[in-house]
Chains A and B, each alone.
Chain A
Amino acid sequence: MTELLAVRDLAVAYANGTVHAVDGANLTLRRGGMLGLVGESGCGKTTLARALMGVLPGGARITRGEARLDGTDLVALAPAERRARLWRDLAFVPQTAMSALDPVYRLRDQMREVLCDRGGLSRAEADMRAAELFEAVGLHPRRLADYPHQFSGGMRQRAAIALALALRPKLVIADEPVTALDVIVQRQVLDTFRSLSAELGLSAIIVTHDISVVAYLCDQVAVMYAGRVVEHGPTDAVLEQPSHPYTMGLMNAFPDLESDEAVLAPIEGSPPPLSDPPPGCRFAPRCPFAEAICTREVPPPVTLAPDHWSACHRAPEAAALRQRARDPLTWRDVAEAAA
């Protein structure tokens, strides 16, 4: 099991450094792995993905930390050098495929642009490779002659995945790749990723708010809260034995199709403003298990098992906390204390 990507203490600031959308994020991805990066809106997951891609919006910049892809620190590279690595080392699948595809060109021409201009292939080679790529994502190569608007939503998303895979990148980052899709089409796109992982050994980061998507697709998961990764580990361990109170809360708040008896428990309150985050653990104000130390000191990652860590001061007691977290009343008490 070799490490492909290692992100250490990465921070991204907006607005002249007054708002840290990502503030000390840690992440690892092994070669051939599928990592789910989950969190709620505003937690910094998209900013983190964009920082890795080197496509942060204007006004945002990386202020510290490193992101090593195959040993090379992407943060230390000059912008031109980073751009040169797009498509080849890293490729991106955005949430709405329409923004990855150019509406006025046929898919074949868009494939040629990447494969010939960036990949140095001849036209004939490019067309052959494009046909292979379409087949790999379950589209008929004949559809390469079509314009993006002639595709349905799910097919467009698969075409965007095919384009991202064009130069056999080491890593694909997909930002909410199935969020805008209906459930049956969503399943088809998820299965496309699954077969690419099984057959081509694709390494990918799937950014999503949906734990079920991670459970279906990913072997590793990183849970983000207020700009930091709070828990990281194998998907089954994190979802079945959540060890950070935020992950425990998320699992309680998530309805499942079959368990109608269970009562959902919301996590009361809202995430802190990133312009003025609380000292210590950022989840402490909403956490039913917070102690004095939690509001003072930033919790370091505590290793619970190989590859599984939780950034919680009480991580060693996780099993006992998990028991208490299953009771919806545990979470209601925090709301009453806050009110």
Chain B
Amino acid sequence: MSTTLEQPLVAAYGLTKHYPVGRSLRQALRGERPVLRAVDGVDLALRPGESVGLVGESGSGKTTIGRLLLKLTEPSAGQVAFEGEDLGRLSRSATLRFRQRAQLVFQNPFDALNPRFSIGRTLTEPLSNTGVPKVEHADRVAESLRHVHLGDPARVLERMPHQLSGGQLQRVVLARALVLRPRFLVADEPVSMLDVSVRAGILNLLRELRDTLGLTTLAISHDLTLVRYVCERTLVMYLGKVVEDGPTAQIIAKPAHPYTRALIRAVPRPYVDQPRDALPLHGALGDAASLATGCRLRNRCPHAFDRCAAETPPLAEIAPGHRVACHLHTT
């Protein structure tokens, strides 16, 4: 799958997360336990230094994947490996080490920070919690503030969250994730709460961190334009499955999966002269609780044929580094 022999930093094998859902009386009498297949058998590998976007609509399972990769929730089946170690078998001390190396950037900066902690305390706390010697704290905090360009550290440290703007708060949230010098960063909708004029600064910052710190990042978003701007590679999810995976530029220019094609065509553009023809997809998002076999898009897909109902299409390589789960591409 990978074009190099380098070991992936993060890898998932058959990753699955099912949540129990309410059942009808009939199902209960039959002893059935219906589940919502939030994530259903996903294989993926993130190489060191790679910035990957994970896109999909709400309910596609993208946030659940982020939580599984960070060990914030346990898989129902399959496994996640970080630096080659199975996250399900980490010792206590290894778990603590993992928690420093893999960080989450929250979606809503207004909720992510304790309103009663100064910015200085917010940034020092992770250091004390993980036993970083006190003499290093000031330097580490200053370093993380430099990374996010928060201006004069002396002035920022004493501020309280309510004294900062949304863009500044999101920089603090990023600085807090960076203060532990992580190798892996998961950013779940990192700019969705920010205004357009501020958003651009955070997107530029994410690009810069990718280039200067060599971080491996997974940006989870419903917004393809964000992923296009920040990520070299993109994974597209539909109802718990990865349906397309490849270089972002290639996916946007030549989407191979019918779902990706519709997703890209649906994005409105910031100029008047743009395509407005009907999307090549019908109906609404399916239901992840009641999925039969076969391709999950088949009822909405204009190209569906008999094989789509019979067999689940595997994620297969159609060009170097570009994989698609669609029978149109398998011969």
Q: B267 contacts A212, CB within 8 Å?
A: yes
Residues of A within 8 A of B203 (CB): 255, 264
Q: Give every chain B residue within 8 A of A249 (Cβ-Cβ).
A: 197
A258 CB–B CB distance under 8 Å = yes
Query: What is the CA–CA distance of A40 and B199 in the complex, to the nearest angstrom?
Result: 11
Interface residues of B in 45-63 (CB under 8 A from A): 57-58
Question: Can you name 12 A-B residue pairings with CB atoms under 8 Å?
Answer: A152-B285, A184-B263, A184-B281, A213-B268, A215-B269, A239-B272, A251-B270, A253-B196, A255-B229, A257-B269, A265-B200, A266-B201
- Complex Cα gap A251–B272 (Å): 13
Q: Which residue of A lies closest to B198 (CB)?
A: A266
A80 interface contact, C-beta 8 A = no
- Asked if B200 contacts A210 (CB within 8 A), the reply is no
Distance from A216 Cβ to chain B, minimum over Cβ atoms (Å): 4
Residues in B with CB closer than 8 Å to A213 are 268
A270 sits at the interface (CB 8 A): yes
Contacts of B269 in A (CB 8 A): 212, 215-216, 256-258
Closest A residue to B281 by beta carbon equals: A184
Measured CB to CB, the closest approach of chain B to A151, in angstroms, equals 10
Tell me, yes or no, whether A267 is within 8 Å of chain B by CB: yes
Whether A260 contacts B228 in the complex (CB less than 8 A), given A187-B266, A251-B270, comes out as yes
Of chain B, the residue at the smallest CB distance from A221 is B272
Q: Are B274 and A216 in contact (CB under 8 A)?
A: yes
Does chain B have a CB within 8 A of A317? no
Interface status of A254 (Cβ within 8 A of chain B): yes
A122 to B272, CA, bound (A): 43
Q: Report whether B196 and A209 are in contact in the complex, using a CB–CB cutoff of 8 Å.
A: yes
Contacts of A252 on B, CB cut-off 8 Å?
A: 200
Does A310 reach chain B (CB closer than 8 Å)? no
B44 close to A (CB within 8 Å): no
Asked if A54 is an interface residue, CB under 8 A from chain B, the answer is no
Residues of chain B within 8 A (CB-CB) of A258 are 252, 269
Docked complex: B264-317 residues within 8 A CB-CB of A: 264, 266-274, 276, 278-279, 281, 284-285
Contact size class for A? 35 or more
Tell yes or no: A56 within 8 A of B by CB.
no
* CB contact between B197 and one of A155, A217, A266 (< 8 Å): that residue: A266
Q: Are A40 and B197 in contact (CB under 8 A)?
A: yes
One of B201, B222, B264 near A182 (C-beta < 8 A): B222
Q: Which of B58, B196, B222 contacts A40 (CB 8 A)?
A: B196
CA distance A249 to B197 in the complex (A): 7
Other-chain residue from B151, B224, B285 in contact with A257 (beta carbon distance below 8 A): B224
Min CB–CB distance B233 → chain A (angstroms): 13
Nearest CB in chain A: distance from B193 CB, A = 9
- Chain B residue total in the interface (Cβ 8 A): 40
Known A183-B57, A185-B284, A253-B197; contact A215-B271, beta-carbon cutoff 8 A: yes
Residue B9, interface by CB 8 Å? no
B249 at the interface (CB under 8 A from A): yes
Q: Is A94 an interface residue (CB 8 A)?
A: no
Whether A194 pairs with B266 at a CB distance below 8 angstroms is no
Minimum C-beta distance from B251 to chain A (A):
11
Chain B 56-88: CB-based contact to A (< 8 A → 1; otherwise 0) = 011000000000000000000000000000000
Known interface pairs A212-B267, A258-B252, A265-B200; A40-B281 also in contact (CB < 8 Å): no
A91 contacts partner chain B, Cβ-Cβ < 8 Å: no
B-chain residues with CB within 8 Å of residue A210 when the two chains form the complex = 268
Q: Of residues 121 to 179 in B, which have CB atoms within 8 Å of A's CB atoms? A: 151, 165, 167
For residue B215, CB closer than 8 A to chain A, the reply is: no
Given known contacts A209-B195, A253-B197, A257-B252, A215 and B270 CB-to-CB distance under 8 angstroms: yes
**CA of A183 to CA of B285, assembled, Å:** 11
Contact B200 A212 (CB under 8 A): no
The residue on A at minimum CB distance from B199 is: A253
- B225: interface (CB < 8 Å): yes
The verdict on A211 contacting chain B, using a C-beta distance below 8 Å, is: yes
Residues of B within 8 A of A211 (CB): 196, 270
B180 on the interface (CB 8 Å rule)?
A: no
Whole-angstrom CA separation of A152 from B278 in the bound complex: 20
B residues in contact with A260, CB < 8 Å? 228-229, 249
- In the bound assembly, the distance between CA atoms of A90 and B171 in angstroms comes to 42
Contact check, B272 vs A215: say whether CB atoms are below 8 A apart.
yes
Q: Indicate whether A236 sits within 8 Å of B284 (C-beta atoms), given known contacts A184-B262, A212-B267, A255-B229.
A: no
Determine the chain A residues whose CB is within 8 A of the CB of B249 once the complex forms: 260
Judged by a CB distance under 8 angstroms, whether A154 is at the interface is yes
In the complex, which residues of chain A have a beta carbon less than 8 angstroms from the beta carbon of B199? 253, 266
A110 an interface residue at 8 Å Cβ cutoff? no
